[in-house]
Structure 1
C-alpha cells in the first residue's frame, strides 16, 4: 500500500508522521496480519506441550484460550512500549512486538506433560528473564562484539532445528495421537500439505500483502478444507466469554535454576535480534543507521514487555522481523501506524471468543503452517551464516558447537546422571551450542584464521 497520497517522501521517512486515518488504519491492520499467526502459535505449542489438550474434553483447555488471548493482548502492550514509549523505554519507531519462537525449545522441557502446575515455573523464568533483558539495554552496545554472525547464525539455525520436529508431529496429528492409528494418516497429511502448497504459491507467485500474509492465507485455506472434511468443531466458541480482562499472576510465579538461567541466556539472543531489527527498520524505512538511543530504548521495551507478560501468564515478546520487511515494502515509517495495529491486538486480546475461534483450528492445519515457519527460521540462520568468513578457525568453532548442541538435543539420555536443572538447559541444544560458540570465538586465537586453507575431513577446504 505504498501510495503518494499517503504523504510526501520526507513525511514517509519520519517516524512521528501520522498518515490520514483512512490510510493509517489499513496499514496498521497489515502489520497485524503479517505477525498474527506467528504471535499465537507459541502459546498453542506450549499449552499443548504442557498437556492442556486441543479439545473441549480437556479440563485445562480454557487455559489455552487464555494464553492465546494474552499473546495478542501483551504483544499489543509491548508494541505500544516501542511506538509510544515510557521515558527511556522504547525506540519510538514502528517496531512490532510478537511472541518469540526463540524461547520455545527452552520452554517445552520446563512444562512437558506437567499441566497447569508447571506454568508457574515457566512464568517465573519469563518474568526474571524479562528483567535481565531490560538490564541488557544498559550495555547492549558493549556486548555485540561477542555475538558475531557465526554465533547468532548458529543459534538461529539451532532454534529452527529444535522446532521442526514439532511441525512434523502436528502435521501428523499431534503429540496426543502418537502411537494411534490416526497418527500420520493420509487425511492429516493432506490437510497439512494444502497449507504448505497454498503458502508457497502465494509467497512466490504473488506480491504485496498476499505474499506477506502467505502463511495466514495458507492456514485459512487448510482450515476450510479441514472444515469440509468434518475436522472442525465450534463447541467451545459458544462457551467462551464475550469480554475478559488479564488476570495478574494467573499461573503464579515460581523460580527454578533451569527456568531463570535458560530465559536469561536466551535474552542475549533476543536482544541481538532486536538490534538487527531496529537497524533494518531505520535502513529500510528512513535510509539511515539506528542511533544508540533507539537501540537501547528498543532493548528496554523488549525486556519490560516480556517481564509484564510473565506477570499475567503470557510468553516472552521480541521484535518481529517480518514486519521490518513490511515497512520496506510500504515505505511508511510512521510509528503511529503500528500503534493502531497494537490497539487492534489489545482489543482482540480482551475478547475470549477470538481465542476460542483460533483454538478451533485443527492441529494438522497448524502443523502445515509451522513446518513452513520453522523451516524459515532455519533458513534465516543459514542466511546469517553466509556472512561468516569460513576459515579453519570458524569452521572448527561451528563444527564443535553444532555437534555438541544438536547431539545433546537428539540424545538427552546421555546426560541422565546430571541434576535435572542442568539437564533441562543442556538438552535444549541451543544453550550449549551458543555458549560453546561464544567461548571458543573469544578464546581461540585469530592466528588460526590466517591459515588461508586447511585440509578438512572429506576433502573440503576451509578458506578465507
Structure 2
C-alpha cells in the first residue's frame, strides 16, 4: 500500500496540500514529467514540419523549431504552476499537469501547411484570443456540460485521433518532405519506427508501474538507439545551441485571422470539457470525492490563461494531461506540491535550448513510431468514451451523420473548393464540423427516438438481429 512506502498516511496522501518528504517528492514530480514529456514536445515538431521548416540542422529555420520545443516545455511548466499554486480565481490548486494539446493540431495544420515560419504568427494570434475565450468559459463551464454528453465528447476525441493518424504514418515512412523520393517508406525507415512501436507495446502489456506509464518514452529511446547504430542521428545542432536562453516575447509575431480565431475558440470549448473530466478524475481517483465547482472553474481559468500566455511567447495551446490523471490514481499521491516540482523541472528544461536541440536530433521516423502509438491511443480513448453511450436509433443517426461529414470533408477538402478560404479551413478540419453537427443534432432531435431499441436497428442492418456477427 502507498502509505507503507514512507510517503505518508492515507489521509495525508488524499490531501492536495500535503507535501511528502522531499527525497520522495522530487522523484515523484520528475515521474510526472517523464509521463507527459514526449506528448508535450511532439505538437511543436508536427506544426513546424507541416509549415515546412525545422527538419535538418542545415535548415535556416531550424533554430525556430528548437525555440518552439523549448517554449513547449517552459510554458507547460508555467501553466502547471497556474494550476497547482494558483493566482486568485485562477487554478484548481490540484495536482494537474498542463502540456501542449494534441487536440488543436488538426486546426493548426491547415493554417500553416507549407507556408513556412511566417505563418506561425497566424497561429499565435489565434492562440492568444482563443486562450482568453477559453479562460472566460470558467464563468459558466458547468452550464455547458449538458450540451456535451459522451456521444459528443467521445466523437470529438475519436475524430482528433483519426485526423492525426496519417501524420504518424507519414513520419514513420520518412516525413512529408521525403514523399515521392526513393527513401520514402524504405525498410530502414520502418525499422526505426517499428522498433518504437514494438518496444512500446511490449512495455505497455508486460511491464508494471512507471515503466508501463513511460512506455512511449522508453520505446522512443530504443528507436533512437537503433537510429544511432544506423548512423541516422546528427548532433551538429546541439553544439550550436545556447546553454541558456530566456523566452522571447512575440518571437513569431502576432497576426489575427478569422479562421484561426474561430478554430481556436471552438476547440477551446472541447479542451475545457476535457479539463473538467480530468479534474473530476483526479478528485475521484486521488481523494475519492467529487470535484467542487470552484476547482472546476479555477482549472478552466488556468487552462485558458496558460494558453493565452503561451501565444505571446511562441508556444502552442496548453491543456490538462490525462495520462497524469492515471498516474495519480496509480501512485495514490494527491499532493499538488509534487506536481509543482514537476512544473519547475519543465521550466528549467525550457530555459536550456540544448535540451530542445537534443530532442530535435530524434529522427522523424523514430518520432513517427511514437506518434502512431500516441494517436492510436487518442482514438482508443474516444472509443472508450463512446462505450458510455446508449446506442439507440437516435444516437446512431447523430453519430453516423457527424462522423460521415466530418471525416469525409477532411479526406476530400476540395469538395468545398468554392467556399471562402476561412470557412474552408474550418470545415475541412474534420473535428469542428463533426462536433458542430453532433452538438446541434443532440440538442434538436426529439428524445422519443431514444426509446427505440438498439436491437431493432441492429436487426435491420444484419437481417438477423443481435449477436449475429461473424464468428459469434
The TM-score range, normalised by the shorter chain, is over 0.9
Query: Residues 247-276 of structure 1, C-alpha deviation per residue, up to 9 Å, x if partnerless?
Result: 001111111110000000001110010000
Query: Residues 165-223 of structure 1, C-alpha deviation per residue, up to 9 Å, x if partnerless?
Result: 00000000000000000000000001101000000111110101000000000000000
- Partner Cα separation in structure 2 for residue 302 and residue 138 of structure 1: 13
Asked whether the equivalents of residues 50 and 118 of structure 1 are also in contact (C-alpha less than 8 Å), the reply is yes
1:73-84 → structure 2 map (5 Å cutoff): 73-84=74-85
1:11-410 → structure 2 map (5 Å cutoff): 11-410=12-411
Asked whether the equivalents of residues 171 and 364 of structure 1 are also in contact (C-alpha less than 8 Å), the reply is yes
* Counterpart in the other structure of 2:470: none
Query: Residues 294-345 of structure 1, C-alpha deviation per residue, up to 9 Å, x if partnerless?
Result: 0000000000000000000000000000000100111100000000000000
Query: Residues 64-105 of structure 1, C-alpha deviation per residue, up to 9 Å, x if partnerless?
Result: 000000000000000000000000100000000010000000
SS of equivalent to 1:91: coil
Q: TM-score, normalised by structure 1?
A: 0.98
Instruction: Give the drift of 1:460.
Output: 8.1
Residues 407, 293 of structure 1: alpha-carbon distance in 2 compared, 3 angstrom cutoff: same
Query: Residues 36-69 of structure 1, C-alpha deviation per residue, up to 9 Å, x if partnerless?
Result: 0000000000011111131112111100000000
- Alignment RMSD: 1.2
Residues 307, 462 of structure 1: alpha-carbon distance in 2 compared, 3 angstrom cutoff: farther
SS of equivalent to 2:383: helix
Residues 111, 461 of structure 1: alpha-carbon distance in 2 compared, 3 angstrom cutoff: farther
Instruction: Give the drift of 1:370.
Output: 0.4
Instruction: Give the drift of 1:2.
Output: 3.7
Higher mean C-alpha deviation, range 93-102 or range 452-461 = 452-461
Instruction: Give the drift of 1:461.
Output: 6.5
- Partner Cα separation in structure 1 for residue 63 and residue 217 of structure 2: 24
Asked whether the equivalents of residues 391 and 462 of structure 1 are also in contact (C-alpha less than 8 Å), the reply is no
Asked whether the equivalents of residues 401 and 437 of structure 1 are also in contact (C-alpha less than 8 Å), the reply is yes
Residues 460, 160 of structure 1: alpha-carbon distance in 2 compared, 3 angstrom cutoff: farther
Asked whether the equivalents of residues 3 and 9 of structure 2 are also in contact (C-alpha less than 8 Å), the reply is no
Asked whether the equivalents of residues 392 and 462 of structure 1 are also in contact (C-alpha less than 8 Å), the reply is no
- Partner Cα separation in structure 2 for residue 344 and residue 2 of structure 1: 24
SS of equivalent to 2:238: coil
Query: Residues 97-153 of structure 1, C-alpha deviation per residue, up to 9 Å, x if partnerless?
Result: 010000000000000110111111000011101001000000000010000000000
* Counterpart in the other structure of 2:7: 6
Higher mean C-alpha deviation, range 175-184 or range 448-457 = 448-457
Instruction: Give the drift of 1:458.
Output: 4.6
Query: Residues 374-399 of structure 1, C-alpha deviation per residue, up to 9 Å, x if partnerless?
Result: 00000000000000000000000000
Instruction: Give the drift of 1:457.
Output: 3.9
- Partner Cα separation in structure 1 for residue 18 and residue 246 of structure 2: 32
- Partner Cα separation in structure 1 for residue 301 and residue 232 of structure 2: 43
SS of equivalent to 1:102: helix
- Partner Cα separation in structure 1 for residue 217 and residue 255 of structure 2: 35
Asked whether the equivalents of residues 192 and 226 of structure 2 are also in contact (C-alpha less than 8 Å), the reply is yes
* Counterpart in the other structure of 2:414: 413
- Partner Cα separation in structure 2 for residue 96 and residue 441 of structure 1: 32
Asked whether the equivalents of residues 2 and 329 of structure 1 are also in contact (C-alpha less than 8 Å), the reply is no
Q: TM-score, normalised by structure 2?
A: 0.97
SS of equivalent to 2:139: coil
Instruction: Give the drift of 1:451.
Output: 1.9
SS of equivalent to 2:216: helix
Query: Residues 230-249 of structure 1, C-alpha deviation per residue, up to 9 Å, x if partnerless?
Result: 00000000000011100001
- Partner Cα separation in structure 2 for residue 337 and residue 459 of structure 1: 57
* Counterpart in the other structure of 1:427: 428
Asked whether the equivalents of residues 224 and 363 of structure 2 are also in contact (C-alpha less than 8 Å), the reply is yes
Asked whether the equivalents of residues 2 and 10 of structure 2 are also in contact (C-alpha less than 8 Å), the reply is no
- Partner Cα separation in structure 1 for residue 2 and residue 270 of structure 2: 33
Instruction: Give the drift of 1:459.
Output: 4.0
- Partner Cα separation in structure 2 for residue 160 and residue 125 of structure 1: 22
- Partner Cα separation in structure 1 for residue 81 and residue 387 of structure 2: 34
Higher mean C-alpha deviation, range 73-82 or range 250-259 = 250-259
Asked whether the equivalents of residues 392 and 450 of structure 2 are also in contact (C-alpha less than 8 Å), the reply is yes
Asked whether the equivalents of residues 456 and 462 of structure 1 are also in contact (C-alpha less than 8 Å), the reply is no
- Partner Cα separation in structure 2 for residue 386 and residue 247 of structure 1: 45
